[in-house]
């Protein structure tokens, strides 16, 4: 359910700019303005022209930076873009304040429709995995293949380690947490989040830690930081309770796109045991399990995720889809 950092407290007027967001070598950022919505999109030039498009969607508390390790490893296969969901990364809050899974899904669909890039190879992590599942179910015309890394899909028995994140959805909890942690430095918050999201936090380099702390400091400057986090967490909890055709598992069954599922054995937020259910619900899916990975396998083991995606792509191309 989380990704790398936290966010949000909504501002109804103009959103102030925080310090500059980090851009890795070879990446570009641009702003896309849609009615009631502004999205920041991160991209890198493909290895050659004419490659099929891909779109990467981050998880709760994350940003498009979460895909910076994976994107260059497959830029000879796809023309990739990663977006910051509304209220996250460098994207301001949506005008309507809608942070539900449906709200984020509409943002992704509207971006794809406006850009004309669909159908895309769609990637999603955590919250972005739930959003991507819903996009693939509702708009199969927009999705070539689907790759889900620890998707936030309903669990009957939530892991104890995921309970604090889920509690952010409860009104008043975020303010209480802020009071209890007011003495925490950005580095303390960052180390706590890395411990929650990484199977082996020691794998994070000193440079990676510094970059993560810088990003945490930047986000703490944003007045809507906790609001985006709590409302999006509430959106996930609400999506978990939906039944019938709107339930996420029912929508997983409707996905037609070839699907790659990636689960980490040390994931503290999405249970490893859900891998088998997901493999059964997504028809004809492929499953990659990484015993030492946590919640963000595309950041921890980008090479293995890239290799699995290439294999998915070979099957997709050979099928003539």
Express each pLDDT in 191-236 by its tens digit. Answer: 888 998 999 998 888 988 998 999 988 888 898 988 898 899 888 9
* Six token digits for residue 154: 């309903």
Give how far the C-alpha of residue 113 lies from the chain's centroid of Cα atoms, to the nearest Å: 20
Residue 173 confidence (pLDDT) above 60: no
What is the total residue count of the chain? 321
Strand 53-57, strand 120-125: pairing: parallel
Residue 134 has pLDDT above 50, yes or no: yes
Supply the pLDDT for residue 221.
Answer: 86
C-alpha span between 303 and 72 (Å, rounded): 10
pLDDT at 226: 84
**pLDDT single digits (tens) 70-85:** 999 999 999 999 999 9
Cα separation, 125 vs 61, whole angstroms: 11
* The dihedral formed by the CA atoms of 197, 200, 202 and 205, expressed in degrees to the nearest 10: -60
Between 316 and 46, the more confident residue is 46
Among the listed residues 62, 124, 81, 156, the one whose alpha carbon sits nearest the alpha carbon of residue 282: 124
pLDDT in the model for residue 82: 98
What pLDDT does 184 receive?
A: 81
Q: Is the pLDDT of residue 96 over 90?
A: yes
Residue 69: the pLDDT is 95
Distance set, CA 309 to CA 74, 78, 82, 121, 283 (Å): 8, 11, 16, 10, 17
Judge whether residue 141 has pLDDT over 90.
Answer: yes
With a cut of 60, say whether residue 12 has pLDDT above it.
Answer: no
Sheet holding 286-290, edge to edge: 28-34, 37-43, 79-84, 53-57, 120-125, 143-149, 259-264, 286-290
For residues 32 and 25, the model is more confident at 32
Q: Which residue has the higher pLDDT, 82 or 157?
A: 82
Phi–psi pair at 210, nearest 5 degrees:
-60, -40
Pick from 124-133, 171-180, 254-263: least confident: 171-180
Is the confidence at residue 15, as pLDDT, over 80?
A: no
pLDDT, residue 316, reads 81
Share of the chain above pLDDT 70, in %: 85
Q: Which residue has the higher pLDDT, 180 or 79?
A: 79
């Amino acid at each position: 359910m989380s990704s790398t950092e936290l966010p949000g407290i909504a501002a109804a007027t103009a959103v102030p700019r925080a310090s500059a967001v980090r851009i890795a070598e070879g990446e570009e950022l641009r702003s896309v303005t849609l009615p009631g919505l502004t999205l920041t999109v991160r991209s890198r030039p493909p290895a050659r022209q004419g490659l099929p498009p891909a779109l990467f969607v981050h998880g709760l508390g994350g940003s498009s930076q979460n895909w910076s390790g994976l994107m260059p490893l497959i830029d000879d296969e796809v023309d990739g873009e990663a977006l910051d969901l509304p209220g996250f990364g460098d994207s301001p809050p949506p005008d309507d304040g809608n942070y539900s899974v449906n709200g984020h899904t509409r943002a992704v669909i509207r971006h794809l429709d406006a850009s004309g890039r669909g159908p895309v190879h769609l990637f999603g992590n955590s919250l972005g995995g739930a959003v991507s599942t819903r996009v693939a179910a509702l708009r199969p015309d927009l999705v070539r293949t689907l790759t889900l890394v620890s998707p936030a899909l309903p669990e009957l028995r939530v892991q104890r380690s995921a309970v604090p994140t889920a509690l952010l959805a409860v009104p008043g909890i975020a303010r209480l947490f802020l009071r209890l942690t007011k003495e925490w430095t950005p580095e303390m918050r960052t180390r706590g989040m890395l411990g929650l999201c990484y199977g082996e936090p020691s794998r994070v380099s000193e440079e990676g830690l510094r970059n993560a702390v810088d990003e945490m400091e930047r986000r703490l400057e944003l007045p809507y930081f906790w609001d985006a986090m709590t409302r999006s967490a509430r959106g996930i909890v609400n999506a978990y309770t939906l039944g019938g055709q709107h339930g996420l598992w029912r929508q997983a069954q409707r996905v037609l796109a070839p699907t790659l599922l990636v689960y980490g054995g040390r994931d503290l937020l999405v249970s490893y045991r859900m891998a088998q259910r997901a493999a059964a619900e997504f028809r004809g899916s492929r499953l990659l399990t990484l015993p030492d990975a946590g919640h963000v396998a595309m950041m921890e083991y980008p090479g293995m995720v890239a290799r699995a995606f290439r294999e998915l792509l070979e099957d997709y191309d050979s099928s003539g889809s």
